[in-house]
Amino acid sequence: MTKLTICPNCGEKNLHWDNEKKWSCNACSFVLYHNVASAVAVLVKCGDEILLTKRNQNPAIGKLDLPGGFVDPKESAETTCKRELWEELKIDINTSKLVYITSLPNTYIYKDILYNTLDMFYMYEVDEKPNFCIEKSEIISTVWIDSNDINIDEIAFDSQKYFFETFYTN
Ligand SMILES: [Zn+2]
């Protein structure tokens, strides 16, 4: 974050990162907030099994992830769940069946920029495993894993590791 030093407003090399959430320019009044980004993670659950995806992009390429992603502007978290499950897997969910569980902070580094996120976890229970089609640019493969057999070391993100260790029980 400290690599950004030139103010986009006045052009002076006076941009200061506060090591938390904003840049400000010492030469003019320019301020740019880098606020916490909202994100969702969905536990698609069938019996004792949960659907996990293997990431096909960085950060954490090859690691296991829950379906989900960043909330778009003007979008509800539930709408994000529906959009992301459709974009990633072509699973069309009924948002009224989403059950909110908890939220956890996470960090996400993308192209050398660190994003602080707040990940909202939802449960989506299904009676039978849905047919789906993988978005191959984002996902290498999917796996249904018994929730008792999840290896925390294979999970991509700290928020999800903490979630499986602490909050998630059958
Ligand atoms: Zn400036």
- In tens, the pLDDT along 131-152 reads 889 999 999 999 999 988 999 9
* CATH 3.90.79.10 boundaries in the chain: 37-167
Torsion of CA 94, 100, 104, 110, to 10 degrees: 10
- In tens, the pLDDT along 34-82 reads 999 999 999 999 999 999 999 999 999 999 999 999 999 999 999 999 9
- In tens, the pLDDT along 97-143 reads 999 999 999 998 888 889 999 999 999 999 999 988 999 999 999 99
The C-alpha atoms of residue 12 and residue 25 are separated, in whole angstroms, by 8
pLDDT reported for residue 169 = 65
Residue 29 has pLDDT above 60, yes or no: yes
pLDDT reported for residue 113 = 87
Ligand 1 mean position to 110 CA, how many Å?
26
Ligand 1 mean position to 97 CA, how many Å?
48
Where are the alpha helices (H) located in 1-126, listed in sequence order?
77-89
pTM: 0.92
Ligand 1 mean position to 18 CA, how many Å?
15
Would you tell me how many other CB atoms lie within 10 Å of the CB of residue 146? 11
Ligand 1 mean position to 128 CA, how many Å?
57
Say which CATH class 37-167 falls into.
alpha beta
The C-alpha atoms of residue 8 and residue 95 are separated, in whole angstroms, by 41
